[in-house]
Amino acid sequence: MAEWCGRGSLLVRLLALSVVISVLSISATAWLAVRDTTRALQQERGRALADDARIYNALLGHAATHHDWTGVSPLVRSLAADTERRIVLTDRNRTPLAASGAGALPQRASATVDPLDVDTDLAGTAGAGGIDARATGPYQLPDAERTALRRLAVRALDCLHGPLDPAPLTAAEGLLPVRTDAEIVVTPSGRPRIVSRGATVISDARCAGEFDALAEPTATERQALDQLDDLVNACLGRQRIPAVRTDLDGQWTPAGSGLITAERRDDVDGCVAAARRTQIAGHVAPPVLLFVTDPGTPVPVGAFDLTPANRLRIFGVAGVVLLVAVGVTVLVGVRLVRPLHALTAAAGRMRNGDTTARVRVAGRDEIARLGTAFNEMAEQRCRVEQLRRDMVGDIAHEMRTPVTNIRGWLEAAEDGVVELDVDLVSSLLDEALLLQHVIDDLQDLAAADAGELTLHRQQVELPRLLREVADAFAPAAESAGVTLVVDAAPGTLDADPIRLRQAIGNLITNAIRHTPADGRVTLSARHRAAYVEIAVADTGPGIPQEQRELVFERFWRAEKSRSRRTGGSGLGLAIVRKIAESHGGTSAVAGAAGTGAVFTLRLPAAGGQADPPHRPAPPPDRP
């Protein structure tokens, strides 16, 4: 495992790459998700808050101006259509009063619509004591009083816009310059007020009468204030606090000479607020629960947002994804690296001379094919190495014999032991010719291995060529008691006639050598669809199945004794194969043991690559 995780290891690089890609992808995805989700949530929350405030304010206005919720359904449907939200109003027992759509309700209400207790986060209409300013109740003015007050307001405004008193205005007299941007504003009860866009309007003494008349409560307002005073003072009396009088602005002042301490002022404010709620309660709609959700789906409790818990959840999921990615990478990397290390180790053993180094192959993927190719290469290398050793020994043996004979006879002649006569010279010449034959054969094989075997192609008549070769070997066949038979179909072949005679001659020599007396060697030629088949068949002992792939190897002989009486140089059949391959063809041997052997040359009829139906796989060539 240590060698797999070393510096520069493929597994480490795969793991590092996977971690980097996983971290970057997770980080980018999380960042984009958080950014887009945050932005979407902020936009959605802002829109939802605006819609909720709008819905709450509209329903609060209805409650402040109606004594019950009868007739609120059209308003609910209109708000739901404008905001694309589902709106449901229920009483305290969650009994529906009005709804814009069907469906289950959330566990918690969005808000409580109560004009006597305004939620200042959703609406800005809260007046004194948290009561909605639109909830006027008994302070609502009739038309006659509204008209009279309107006239007083117009006169006061005209007075403000008129010419100033030439008398100097000083702060000591409690007067300030007049604001000329004043205007008349009508309150929810119908009372007009003169206000300025910048500050409260202060008039000079000339307009004091108009302003005093405008500030005087009407009969309706006085009746309501008297009722309020009764309620307030009843509350104060229970707490032994002196009586007070209230005004239209919700302020109070002591009614007599009683002293109200600063500690009791909060108690007075509480009594005033409670009295105003009691006074107005009968003129407004009762409190209801408001549910605002998306159409058809209630808002789930604990809905997803970017809270710390949800952020932790996101990072947790990202961590799990990272761990899974790393784990998968490690598993894949180990499966990928293990056979590579096995191949590396086997290659190292082979380099150190271990010819048995192999790897175990499992599966059918690319690594398995690589292992199979390595094993085949190792097998081939083993065979090539063995063939190289055999070839070196064979070459030394084949050349040692004639050289030793020549040297021995020459030394004997030099020492005077034998006379250098014509017979000895002829014997020495035979040994030199044999040595030259071996050298020529090796030179031909070397040229063929290097792809430098020169061919001089021409149209060759096969029957004539076979008869000429048979005539050349007729004396040798007659001496061995073997009959040569030629059976060639008419036809021509594009080939080098000299090299073709050499190949056929080697086959005939081999056949005569292994055919007993009274045997027969047959030369035949047949034309097929894409190739020409030349065969040399004998009636000798044949070749066993296990030796057929070796007969075309260099220096191979069935007789391990290497008897020169039963074998030549051992290169003839190797040269036959090279000549066939240089013509683009193949060579093969067939025939069962005891029935003779059949050597076949298959050459392309038109100079192309021959593709015979039963081509044996030849052993690999030596480099």
Domain ranges of the chain: 10-129+287-311, 137-164+176-216, 220-281, 453-604
pLDDT bucket at 520, cuts 50 / 70 / 90: very high
| Residues ≥6 apart with Cβ < 8 Å to 227 | 138, 279
Which residues are 244's β-sheet partners? 254
CA pair distance 564, 507, nearest whole angstrom: 17
Give the helix/strand (H/E) hosting 88.
Answer: strand 86-90
Q: pLDDT at residue 486 above 90? A: yes
Q: pLDDT at residue 202 above 70? A: no
The interaxial angle of helices 422-449 and 366-414, nearest 10 deg, is: 160
Torsion of Cα atoms, 564 then 567 then 571 then 576, to 10°: 150
Task: Provide the mean pLDDT of the chain.
Answer: 78
Nearest to 232 by CA among 280, 272, 267, 269: 272
Residue predicted with more confidence, 440 or 519: 519
Mean pLDDT of 320-331: 77
Q: pLDDT at residue 400 above 90? A: no
pLDDT bucket at 315, cuts 50 / 70 / 90: confident
Which range, of 102-106, 110-114, 123-127, 209-213, averages the lowest pLDDT?
Answer: 123-127
Tokens of 543: 């070749």
What confidence score (pLDDT) does residue 600 get? 93
Whole-prediction pTM value? 0.43
Mean pLDDT of 468-475: 89
pLDDT bucket at 248, cuts 50 / 70 / 90: confident
Classify residue 131 as exposed, middle or buried by CB count within 10 Å of its CB (0-12, 13-18, 19+). Answer: buried
CA angle 426, 429, 432 (to 5 degrees): 160
- The CATH superfamily assigned to 453-604 is Histidine kinase-like ATPase, C-terminal domain (3.30.565.10)
Task: Report the DSSP pairing between strands 458-461 and 252-254.
Answer: unpaired
Q: pLDDT at residue 18 above 80? A: no
CA pair distance 177, 195, nearest whole angstrom: 15
Torsion of Cα atoms, 38 then 41 then 42 then 45, to 10°: -160
CA pair distance 19, 322, nearest whole angstrom: 7
Q: State the sign of the Cα–Cα–Cα–Cα dihedral 285, 290, 294, 297.
A: negative
- Cβ proximity of 11 and 333 under 8 Å: yes
Q: pLDDT at residue 356 above 70? A: yes
Q: pLDDT at residue 264 above 50? A: yes
CA pair distance 598, 515, nearest whole angstrom: 12
CA pair distance 286, 112, nearest whole angstrom: 10
Mean pLDDT of 238-252: 87
Q: pLDDT at residue 167 above 60? A: no
Q: pLDDT at residue 396 above 80? A: no
Which range, of 118-127, 173-182, 229-238, 464-473, averages the lowest pLDDT?
Answer: 173-182
- Cβ proximity of 564 and 498 under 8 Å: no
Q: Which of 84-98, 174-188, 396-410, 433-447 has the highest mean pLDDT?
A: 84-98
86 φ, ψ to 5°?
-95, 125
Residue predicted with more confidence, 597 or 431: 597
Q: pLDDT at residue 47 above 90? A: no
What confidence score (pLDDT) does residue 466 get? 92
Q: Which of 287-301, 364-378, 502-516 has the highest mean pLDDT?
A: 502-516
Strands of the sheet with 520-527, listed across from one edge: 483-488, 520-527, 531-538, 598-604, 586-590
What confidence score (pLDDT) does residue 20 get? 73
Residue predicted with more confidence, 172 or 330: 330
What confidence score (pLDDT) does residue 196 get? 74
Q: pLDDT at residue 610 above 70? A: no
Residue predicted with more confidence, 423 or 448: 423
Q: pLDDT at residue 601 above 90? A: yes
CA pair distance 134, 60, nearest whole angstrom: 9
Q: State the sign of the Cα–Cα–Cα–Cα dihedral 340, 341, 343, 348.
A: positive
Give the helix/strand (H/E) hosting 83.
Answer: helix 73-83
CA pair distance 22, 322, nearest whole angstrom: 6
Maximum CA pair distance of the chain? 177
Mean pLDDT of 121-145: 82
Q: State what percent of residues in the chain have pLDDT above 70.
A: 79
What confidence score (pLDDT) does residue 133 get? 84
Q: pLDDT at residue 128 above 90? A: no
Q: State what percent of residues in the chain have pLDDT above 90.
A: 11
| Residues ≥6 apart with Cβ < 8 Å to 263 | none
pLDDT bucket at 280, cuts 50 / 70 / 90: confident
pLDDT bucket at 612, cuts 50 / 70 / 90: very low
Residue predicted with more confidence, 443 or 271: 271
What confidence score (pLDDT) does residue 313 get? 72
What confidence score (pLDDT) does residue 452 get? 65
What confidence score (pLDDT) does residue 611 get? 43
Residue predicted with more confidence, 361 or 204: 361
Which range, of 15-19, 483-487, 511-515, averages the lowest pLDDT?
Answer: 15-19
- Cβ proximity of 264 and 241 under 8 Å: yes
Q: Which of 163-172, 249-258, 308-317 has the highest mean pLDDT?
A: 249-258
pLDDT bucket at 421, cuts 50 / 70 / 90: confident
Torsion of Cα atoms, 471 then 475 then 477 then 482, to 10°: 100
Nearest to 586 by CA among 521, 544, 528, 541: 528
